Structure 1
Amino acid sequence: EEDEDEEEEEEAEEEEEEEEEEEEEKEEEEANGHSEADQRRAVAEAEAEMAAKAEQMFALLKQADEMQRALAQLEAQEASGQDEPADDEAEEEAEEAPGLGLDDTQATLEEREGADDSDEAVLNRLQSLEEEKSRFEDMLKDSQKEHEDLLSRLDDMRSLMSAVGITEEDLENADM
């Protein structure tokens, strides 16, 4: 990690030097047509801009280092079987990390919780569908049993009608 940080710092310094050279060239070009006071003002502005960019780069490097440490920590926790840090730990890490506000980490936590919620919602929906399926299967069994009972009663009535001497034709003629 330190080698990576040193490489990033060297790259940042090289970029700063290139930007400084470009700024100096621009200043020289502008200086040819401007007064000495304008030149000084331009130099001061350029130096202030470079200082701000350098500060921003160092902040980004520090943030990258913090993120690498957090990633290593998460990987270690994952390897040890712990899914994710406790909310308190995550909030502390977020407060310590420069450039990463609590809002960013909170949004990440909410996304994780949202994913957990959506997984939970899917599981709940699946369970309710299984319960509904079971209920419909029971209704189907009840309906089939009722149908068999009605067929059995119909056969019994036909047998009884035959025994009494009534035919289906007699019933049809009686309806007319």
Structure 2
Amino acid sequence: MSGDQDEEHGVGQPAGLPRADGPLVDVILPDGQHLYAVVKARVREPDGWWYDLQIHVPHQSSEHGRLLALPAAVDFRAPAALCTPVDGQPYDHVPTMRPGVTPAWKVEEKVYFGPERGPARIVHRGDCRAARDLARPASTEQARTVLDRDAAACEVCRPDRPLRSAA
């Protein structure tokens, strides 16, 4: 991790910007409001570039009878024309998807609908077909970081072998 990053909170941000786990862009919403969102990927579509973005909103939870406001991730996609880069943000590691090009790695965000829980994320090779839930493209560095933090390696494509041996 580079010196301008904080291991606990993600990317180091210039004064006045929120801490985030990736580079921020200023997004214009349909009603004209602006918000900062984390860029998760760039996607080339037939009509132009789009960004896969993420924000965190308050979510009600409870612990021992106490109500808590915990962050809940909200993923969305916006056209690049509505996204303005923020000075000082490191966009060079944002995964970029183009039609017909397979990403090196994918990080699957698991969706659970019952009481069973497993790892929050699963790392796959880019061409693995075992991903069942939302899977985003990832660079080698991002896949390695996610795998080291809180993810499991796919048991079909075993991406942990080259990722861990290359470290």
TM-score class normalised by the smaller sequence: under 0.3
Return the TM-score normalized by structure 1.
0.20
Return the TM-score normalized by structure 2.
0.21
Q: Which has the higher strand share?
A: 2
Question: Which entry has the higher C-alpha Rg, 1 or 2?
Answer: 1
Q: Which has the higher helix share?
A: 1
